[in-house]
Structure 1
């Protein structure tokens, strides 16, 4: 396929958009929080511990409640996850990550809807993705989307 001037212009505009996003306050904050998380020894140890437990949990899940260690492993992984989520650098990183995701979802939505209002754009939240009904849901109107 030959590159037309329109395609070249479109690629240039996309590059400018990517550059603008990577220079945005939201992205810069995300990068800073990620580095802080990577340098936090307590957080890295907690992440490693959680990943080890996650492997055990996946093994136990294969057999479900019939596995002899099901209750213990399930309880331990929930407690470990809770402790991990309460570490300040983890909380800050997750917040920055969520804000960046929201920005990217909004940009995706603007681009998609400038092409057509019927294009479905994932929001990152399955509940809202199912509820949005942009373009119709195929249920014959029973979901009350208009």
Structure 2
């Protein structure tokens, strides 16, 4: 496929939009929060240890309570997750991630709706969800993939 002038204008506008997002306040706050977490060696080590524990958790989940490490891993995953959740730097990073994701969701929503009301827009925010197949009362108890 060869590039037309119209295609060039669209890609050029997309580049401008991505630069605006990159230089946004949300991106700046995210980068600062990310650095606060991962520049802290102890905290980064805790996060990596938790990731390894999550792998053990997935292994234990395959066998359930019959796995020899079931009780130890289940307790440790809850303790370590709570410890990370209560860390102010991790909480700030999660908040910054959500703010940046909301910005991206809003931009995607605006672009999608400018093309057509029927365009499906993937989003982490249900407000921007374009999937109206479950108008709120499907009566299937979640059979249509809604969270009833």
TM-score band by shorter chain is 0.7 to 0.9
TM (norm. structure 1) is: 0.84
The answer as to whether partners of 1:56 and 1:73 remain within 8 angstroms in 2 is: yes
Q: Report what 1:39 is aligned to.
A: 39
Q: Report what 2:124 is aligned to.
A: 124
Cα deviation for residue 4 of structure 1 reads 1.1
Question: Gaps (5+ residues) in structure 2?
Answer: 140-148
Deviating more after overlay: 37-46 vs 85-94: 37-46
Residue 34 to residue 51, structure 1, CA distance change in 2 (3 Å): same
**Residues 46-85 of structure 1 mapped to structure 2, 5 A cutoff:** 46-85=46-85
1:109-128 per-residue CA deviation (whole Å, 9 max, x = no partner) reads: 11011000111112215xx3
Residue 27 to residue 64, structure 1, CA distance change in 2 (3 Å): same
**Count of aligned pairs between the two proteins:** 139
1:88-135 per-residue CA deviation (whole Å, 9 max, x = no partner) reads: 11111111011001100111111011000111112215xx38x95x46
Residue 35 to residue 12, structure 1, CA distance change in 2 (3 Å): same
2-side partners of 1:140 and 1:84: how far apart?
37
**Residues 1-146 of structure 1 mapped to structure 2, 5 A cutoff:** 1-125=1-125, 128=126, 132=129, 134=130, 136-137=132-133, 143=138
Cα deviation for residue 63 of structure 1 reads 0.4
The answer as to whether partners of 1:50 and 1:77 remain within 8 angstroms in 2 is: yes
TM (norm. structure 2) is: 0.83
Runs of 4+ in structure 1 displaced over 6 angstroms?
none
Residue 81 to residue 135, structure 1, CA distance change in 2 (3 Å): closer
Cα deviation for residue 141 of structure 1 reads 9.6
Cα deviation for residue 41 of structure 1 reads 2.3
